[in-house]
Chain A
Amino acid sequence: MSDKYLWNRSGDPDPHVTRLENLLGTLRHRPGALDYTRLPASIPSGGMIWRWKRSLLTAAACAAVVLVAAGLWWRSPRPVPPAAPPPGPWLVQSLTGIPTVAGTPLRGERRIGAGRWIETDTSSSVRLSADSVGMIDLGPGTRLRIVRSSEGDYRLALARGTLHAHIWATPGSFAVETASATALDLGCSYRLDVDPDGRGRLHVTLGWVGLGQHEVESLVPQGAVCTLRPGAGTGTPHFDDAPGALVEALSRIDGTPGRMPAEALDAALAAARPRDAFTLWHLLRRAAGADADRLYERLAALSPPPAGVTRELALAKDRAALETWWNTFGLGDAALFSRWRARAGL
């Protein structure tokens, strides 16, 4: 495809570029008038009349404030109670039924901050939105807590239920805790389901998500799913169109502590397509001994390691080498996750 259209919109339109233009054009600059009143008074202005008018307006405003304050003082001589703490960034809106916020029925919408629980019953659903973070819908039967909501550090805890997230915050600044693992947003949209016993499933529909708990972590790209298991952390992610034999084998491998079941590993290696290289990459990081040797061979056949990534480094689970290999899959830069995981406590 020629870059002419990308350069100056001439030539044959590139369908990817036109799609992005239509989508992203909704965020385009909408010019309003410059607000010169935000300038300090010493800045040159259009003339003395403007300054005189502004002075007059300022004096009038001050006088009005004094009058209103005096009136309030006259009508209410009791001490003024301390101001309520400022509400948080999350606007919570009931979508269906009557969800509860901090144990109180929510009718319409309200703004909440850290520490609050949101709960939906079997017939209610709710939307959380914050302009600097994103939009999150909670389905029926969901219980969720706002853990932190500081600028650049937004964290929720999903105890049970379903969460659909469209996140536009800076990658790495939004995370959702579950009983099994923490999902770290890296610029994405996804669905997260968690059962009351802590089992769950993550499905990424745009961008990718870093999923981790302690030393176990998974990188889940767009179009992939990953299971969550209490006590075992994250499962092995795979594309949602992965062969059934591979998915079944992964379920047995993830459900077996210690060495991988031989038959399941055989099945996974046989069923994996070149597109499933990222799944074998995850298995390789967890495998040991002969299992790791076999995984290396199959992964190298499906997606050859780049220069500098040797068999020894890969089998030694050298982080830099494995991340370099990951970056050849075309699924995003693994260094991004490394950069943010420590900050998110993964």
Chain B
Amino acid sequence: MVDRVETAFGDDDQLVMAAQGGDRDAFGRLYERFGPMVHGVLLTRVPYGEVDDLVQDVFLSAFQRLSTLRAPGAFGGWLAAIARNRAVDYHRRPRVEQMADDIPAADARPQAEARAVLAVIQSLPAAYRETLVLRLVEGMTGQEIADRTGLTPASVRVNLHRGMKRLRDALQWQ
């Protein structure tokens, strides 16, 4: 598992450099690889129904600003920061009545319990939300979370351990 991530991480640098040169195929590969991380970061901060649209916003914004990224190896942390900033912008928007395109997904019913648990995760301290969502929703390992977000593996490990304890307490799963 770790070997695969390290190999992919090396590939990521090549893809970032190619994308900085305008290669959309390379950027598309980065979107495939980092999409779950961006999705998870946004999922802890904005309503579920808005996340997919904001993921697109984040990647397109990153594509526009990619030439400003000096260290290709910092792409993950840089992208996560764009996602967090985009979530802040979302909440700064004027509060308006929701429009008619707010149509529930066809599979909303089986997701009801999942989204209720997600709301519990969103009520936990900020430090634990992202790592829990990336692990439990997006299915990433601790090492992958560290590689994709730029956090240290030790921080991810601590956040996972403590966050899981808080989540068990909140759900009363003793």
- Which residues of chain B (124-174) have a CB below 8 Å from chain A? 133, 135-139, 141-143, 157, 160-161, 164, 167-174
- Contact between chains at B99 and A132 (CB < 8 Å): no
Q: B88 to nearest A CB, angstroms? A: 14
**A-side interface residues, number (CB < 8 Å):** 71
Given A44-B22, A168-B116, A222-B172, residue A3 in contact with residue B123 (CB < 8 A): no
Whether A53 is near chain B, meaning CB under 8 Å from some CB there, is no
- Contact between chains at B123 and A171 (CB < 8 Å): yes
Q: Which of A38, A45, A207 contacts B120 (CB 8 A)?
A: A207
Across the interface, name the chain A residue whose C-beta is closest to B113. A23
Q: Encode B24-49 as 1/0 by CB contact (under 8 A) with A.
A: 10011001100110011001000111
A residues apposed to B, CB below 8 Å: 3, 6-10, 16-17, 20-21, 23-36, 38-40, 43-46, 86-89, 91, 111, 113-114, 129-135, 149-153, 166-171, 186-189, 206-207, 221-223, 330-333, 336
Given A27-B118, A166-B113, A168-B118, residue A91 in contact with residue B104 (CB < 8 A): yes
- Contact between chains at B28 and A34 (CB < 8 Å): yes
Whether B71 is near chain A, meaning CB under 8 Å from some CB there, is no
- Contact between chains at B97 and A86 (CB < 8 Å): yes
Bound Cα distance A313, B111 (Å):
44
Q: What chain B residues lie within 8 Å of A150 (beta carbons)?
A: 95-97
- Contact between chains at B48 and A168 (CB < 8 Å): yes
- Contact between chains at A111 and B100 (CB < 8 Å): yes
Bound Cα distance A27, B59 (Å):
20
Whether B50 is near chain A, meaning CB under 8 Å from some CB there, is yes
Q: What chain B residues lie within 8 Å of A44 (beta carbons)?
A: 22
Bound Cα distance A129, B49 (Å):
12
Across the interface, name the chain A residue whose C-beta is closest to B153. A7
